[in-house]
Amino acid sequence: MIKASFEVLTPVNGQSFLFRKFDKSAFDVPYHFHPEYELTCILQGSGKRYVGSHMEDFAPGDLVLLGPNLPHCWKLEQGKEAQAGGSAIVIQFDGAFLGDDFFNKNELQHIKKLFQRSGCGVSFNSGTQTAVNHSLLALSKETNNFKLMVGLLEALQRLATSNEYVLLDQNMAVGERTIAEQERINPVLAYLVENFREQVSLNEAAGIANMTTNAFCKYFKKITRKTFMETIIEYRLNYAIQQLVQTDKPISEISFESGFGDVSHFYKMFKSKMHLSPLNYRKKFMRNLNGEEKMAVA
């Protein structure tokens, strides 16, 4: 049975935090959580990013800050990007890695507020994403621990003073959950992340949470603000959308690969969310893409 694994992190070489550059192994890590903050910059690879109950596409340049105990993973898609491999810069640090009261200083008030937002997971974009990714890539070649620490603080300050960001798992901020709730819901979310494209069992999910099915359904909606089935369908539709725009697979094949056992049900759910049929959504995307390419050539 797959569960959200707890990761134990230990800084090395005299560092008070972890600064590492990973190859494809970063994307093989299962859905997991840890008490440290994590800043991740994707250098190469694309696929799906899972943060709490939130799922979204990621691509090179993806820059995300995660708060403590927020379960997460990045999954490479099978295809050209996956065959080419993937790489990422990952920085992990305890909230008190510079002392218990360090981030309570007035000069660091913006970073403290950033940490509060990170309970939902924060994805950065535009100029902030570009600038910070560039600085992290430069820092990945730095061997002086003091310069690494100063560089991390400068990156955090840049993120903290930016409004170019999106909160990811807004319906389930970790700060609003008790430790007991985290221990109960994280394994359930891990089960969904790993199995939503297959046959998902309500009984098995309730068993993971050690609850009756009725109690589990009420509990799941209380925690995620979505029903168990709504969450599964959202994951499946999100995956299907990616397949529609990135492959030329037949829609019936995408339907089954996404976890829908019935094509007509897939059409109904897709149109309810996107207000277009899967076929028309693909056609519209291709028209928009071709229009952008023509503008770029001009």
187: confidence class by pLDDT, cuts 50, 70, 90: confident
**Residue 11 confidence class, pLDDT cut points 50, 70, 90:** low
**What's the mean pLDDT in 27-51?**
88
Tokens of 184: 């109960």
Mean pLDDT, all residues of the chain: 85
How much is the average pLDDT of 81-103? 83
Q: Is residue 81 predicted with pLDDT exceeding 50? A: no
For the cut 70, the answer to whether the pLDDT of residue 16 exceeds it is yes
> H or E stretch including 39?
strand 37-44
Q: Which of 105-114, 122-131, 205-214, 243-252 has the lowest mean pLDDT?
A: 243-252
- pLDDT score for 292: 52
pLDDT at 25 over 70: yes
Structural domains in the chain, sorted by start: 5-172 (2.60.120.10), 196-289 (1.10.10.60)
pLDDT of res. 135: 96
Mean pLDDT, rounded, for 244-265: 91
Per-residue confidence (pLDDT) for residue 291, from 0 to 100: 61
String of DSSP letters for 130-179: HHHHHHHHHHTT---HHHHHHHHHHHHHHHHT---EEES-GGG-GGGS-H
Q: So what's the pLDDT on residue 257? A: 92
Write down the pTM of the prediction.
0.75
- What are the tens digits of pLDDT across the range 208-238? 999 999 999 999 998 888 899 999 998 999 8
In this predicted structure, what is the pLDDT of residue 158? 97
| 288: number of Cβ within 10 Å | 11
